[in-house]
Structure 1
Amino acid sequence: MSDENPKDYASPACLAAEVAPDYFDPLATDPVAAADAARWRKAARAQLLAARGARDVQATDAAIADQLDRLLAQQFGGGPGLILAAYWPIRGEPDLRPWMARQSAAGLRIALPVVTAPDQPLVFRPWSPDAQMRPGRWNIPEPATTAQVLPQIVLAPTVGWDAGRFRLGYGGGFYDRTLAALRPRPYAVGIGLESGRLPTIYPQPHDAALDLIVTEAGFRP
């Protein structure tokens, strides 16, 4: 399979047409398979990012916000007093900032992730609609404070996702490291698009499965 021109998302990382998509052993450490998976992910990521612009942004983002309201009501009693880590949208990600502002006004404590160094877990800093912001790593806005909080719920934006609740992100591994490090581990919710569903992302030993995927169409447990 060409690294630059994958035939489709269902193609496994190697021997695409000759094996079942669920053959992949997530505990495998074979370096060749890992390299093949990395190349496949890079190609899939590029295609999914390019396709993001085709959606109805306003309708999709509103639908995801509605699904998150339903999740909070059903599983967290609405969420007042809980700390929820959201994200600042980049590269066409669902924009939940209006929802974050509404939830902040309703008593949910909102935080944003901050990258402090490469290959380190994220830290979470408190956010509110009137919070002072500053440019962080890669110029992504972050709260201009040194305060840190420990969220009970983490929203992790996805480029793609699969039925095992594994997340295809941008390749930095920040959410995987963070979920592995936090104790107690927060409830991790992937925020994705229905069009981002993949048969598998070929999970590696470092990949952390999420607890739930939320898209514009509903919950994907």
Structure 2
Amino acid sequence: MTDDKPNPDYASPACMAREIAPDYFDPFARDEIAAKDAARWRKAERARLLAEREGEDAAARQAADRAIAERLDDVLATRFHGRDDLVLAGFWPIRAEVDLRDWMARYSEKGWRIALPVVTAKDQPLIFRPWSPDASMRPGRWNIPEPDTRASVVPQIVLTPLVGWDSARYRMGYGGGFYDRTLAALRPRPYAIGIGLEAGRLRTIYPQAHDVALDLIVTDESSI
């Protein structure tokens, strides 16, 4: 006669969780196997999404930029009631990212204080330096242009570029963790808006304990 009682010492391997359901992972889990499995999955998805994004033609990219800029106009008007006394941190586009430089220039000319993120060191939060269309620029880490000034500001609104994202508003970036670290460190925390393409939507990014959910995500087709 067999014993039908479950073995209390048995548990399914964490790395098999995604075979059961894509949203199985506990975002606060500390299981090293699960974390490594999620990291491998993200690396593959990141490469796929970047290749697709970089394969878009210029006309499609420009159309997406315009659609996102229009949605951001609506967000600032409705959520911030047209205030222009806040510091808004944008980003300099790399690797076929959404290009909001014209949009940022327009808001700078309207009197908004605009800033750009600067990487100071590995595993450190970003700092933000003031920017305007006529600002002197210098090559920063990975040769990404940054304002040529030692001045820094603290933003109340931060735009974060997305490679991938999910409906829980978790973002997948390039893997350095700079934005997660920054949002966790800033007090008060700024209003964080992810900027990306609808094509980057994933069912889940398998969030881990260090991941920080955003307040809003704006794409060329939606705002959630």
TM norm. shorter chain > 0.5: yes
Rounded to whole Å, the distance in 2 between the matches of 1:163 and 1:172 is 22
**Structure-1 residue corresponding to 2:22:** 21
In the other structure, the counterpart of 1:84 is 88
- Letter aligned with residue 54 of structure 1: E
Query: Which residue identity does 1:35 align to in structure 2?
Result: K
* Larger of the two Rg values belongs to structure: 2
1:17 Cα offset (Å): 6.7
Displacement, 1:97? 0.2
Report how far residue 83 of structure 1 moved.
Answer: 0.4
Distance 1:80 1:161 in 2: 29
Partner residue, 2:10: none
Q: Deviations 1:68-118 (Å, cap 9, x if unpaired)?
A: 000000001123121000000000000000000001111111000000000
Partner of 1:6: none
Counterpart for residue 41 of structure 1: 42
- Within 5 A, what are the aligned runs for 1:77-116? 77-116=81-120
Match of 1:119 in 2: 123
AA at the equivalent of 1:141: P
Aligned match of 1:54:
56
Gap change, CA 1:73 and 1:18, over 3 Å in 2: same
| CA shift in 2, pair 1:186/1:17, >3 Å | closer
Q: CA RMSD in A?
A: 1.2
| Partner SS, residue 160 of structure 2 | strand
Contact residue 18 and residue 24 of structure 2 kept, 8 A: no
Q: Which amino acid aligns with 1:96?
A: L
CA distance in structure 2 between the aligned counterparts of 1:18 and 1:188, rounded to whole angstroms: 32
Does residue 216 of structure 2 align to residue 212 of structure 1? yes
Aligned match of 1:10? none
1:16 to 1:33, Cα distance in 2 relative to 1, 3 A: closer
Runs of 5+ consecutive residues of structure 1 not aligned to the other structure: 1-12
More moved, 176-185 vs 17-26:
17-26
TM-score relative to the length of structure 1: 0.92
Q: Secondary structure at the match of 2:73?
A: helix
Of 201, 206, 209 in structure 2, the residue corresponding to residue 202 of structure 1 is: 206
CA drift of 1:192 comes to 1.0
Q: Distance in 1 between matches of 2:134 and 2:83?
A: 20
Q: Please tell me whether the aligned partners of residues 160 and 196 of structure 1 are also in contact (alpha carbons under 8 angstroms).
A: yes
Query: Structure 2 unaligned runs (5+)?
Result: 1-13
CA shift digits 1:157-182 (9 cap, x unpaired): 00000011000000000000000000
d(CA) in 1 for partners of 2:82, 2:26: 38
Distance in structure 1 (CA, Å) of the matches to 2:199 and 2:99: 17
Retained in 1: the 8 A contact 2:87–2:114? yes
Q: Which moved more, 1:46-55 or 1:16-25?
A: 16-25
Q: Cα offset for 1:18?
A: 3.2
Whether contact under 8 Å (2:17, 2:25) holds in the other structure is: no
Written as runs of structure 1 = structure 2, the 5 A alignment for 1:61-210 is 61-210=65-214
Partner Cα separation in structure 2 for residue 40 and residue 93 of structure 1: 21
Runs (4+) of structure 1 moved beyond 4 Å? none
Partner SS state of residue 154, structure 2: coil
Residues matched between the structures, number: 208
- Residues in 2 aligned to 1:23 and 1:177: alpha-carbon distance in whole angstroms: 24
Match of 2:193, as an amino acid?
Answer: V
Say if 1:79 and 1:107, in contact at 8 Å, map to a contact too. Answer: no
TM-score, length-scaled by structure 2: 0.90
